[in-house]
Structure 1
Amino acid sequence: MTQQCNCSEGCGGSGRYEELVLERMLYSARLKESVARRDSDVIAAMAAMIAETFRNGGKVLLCGNGGSAADAQHLAAELTIRYRSSVNRPALPAIALSADTSALTAGANDFGFDEVFARLVEAYGRPGDILVGLSTSGNSPNVLKALRFARQRDMKTLALLGGDGGEIKPHADLAVVVPHTGSADRVQECHIALGHVIVELVEKMLGYD
């Protein structure tokens, strides 16, 4: 039931805001459906690559800025702790490069913000590891440089992107691009949903379901 607003701002009641809620939520749902139908094979392949890396004793590094930094930390926590498994599985080694504020600010101060993630990939990345880059525009300079450096280190590269994939897409072995431009919000909503599916598949592939 629509409730009328009693505020003095002349907003005309809450009906138009309910319409906005419906519009935004349904658009987000359609965007996720579009990505799922188009890229389900790529998403499953990402999970398989991550699972194989863990089997071989490797680790996953993740990086992004702003909300994508939060998503990187979120997904790293799902891997290091656990996601939905009903058993107390072993921890899976994953590091969000945005989590260490001292390293980020030192790197930005000494080398420039565009280099902060590449510097941390140099510190933590080894051949056979995976770097996952998140960028809603596909053009974040520090994510791009990190993926380039990871490839030089013989690491595998994955990317969750937005828009048309931007400059980053060619530097990822596998990429999922959310076809939305103009704002980061809808892209990030897809990215975290994709990340959750990938983590769930990784646990299944490793036998922790």
Structure 2
Amino acid sequence: MEEFKFTTKTDFEVFRDYWMFTLFEKRSANGGRSGFVKYMTILLVIVAALAVLCICNALLLNYSLGLIPLILLVGIGAALVSALVTATRSQPKRQYKLVQEAVESPQSYTFTDAQMEVREDIPEENRESLAEFPYEKIVGGYETHKAFYLFISEAEAFLIPKSQLTDVDMGKFAAFLAAKLDGRFFKSKRS
């Protein structure tokens, strides 16, 4: 029986990678895309349709619709850019500030044959917490180029930065997780 033990801390870069992963790549429980990807797809389709309308208005309709298609195109295009910038630049910083204290405290992991154990010091209470997660209770796991993400619910994950796993063989650890999560472990397409 192989056992993996290590301690990690999350920084903003790992959190941002996780944020981007959940926005663009992580699938929902039913295998569907995230709400953000669906929203952006709809905006892109509308922008494309408006661009076609602008071209048709100019070439075929001799500007009979006036500037309305162009105004709509600029407005929807601005909404698309605004949503993208907010979701990928501003929002990760805001969210990180909310969870910074929790994610930056060291977490000690032990992966046994039966479960994942996570220990964390709670200095203000002068105690250590221990959480145990049998592998069948872990919703899913992912490996990206920067980290491993182990989801204990659709919205909650443990972030394990690869840069801090200096004494762990990444290939063996990924194979271990793949075996224990039995079809619920995925490798990022961006790795």
Q: State whether TM-score is above 0.5.
A: no
Bigger share in helix: 1
Which of the two has higher C-alpha Rg? 2
Tell me the TM-score normalised to structure 2 length: 0.29
Tell me the TM-score normalised to structure 1 length: 0.27
Bigger share in strand: 2
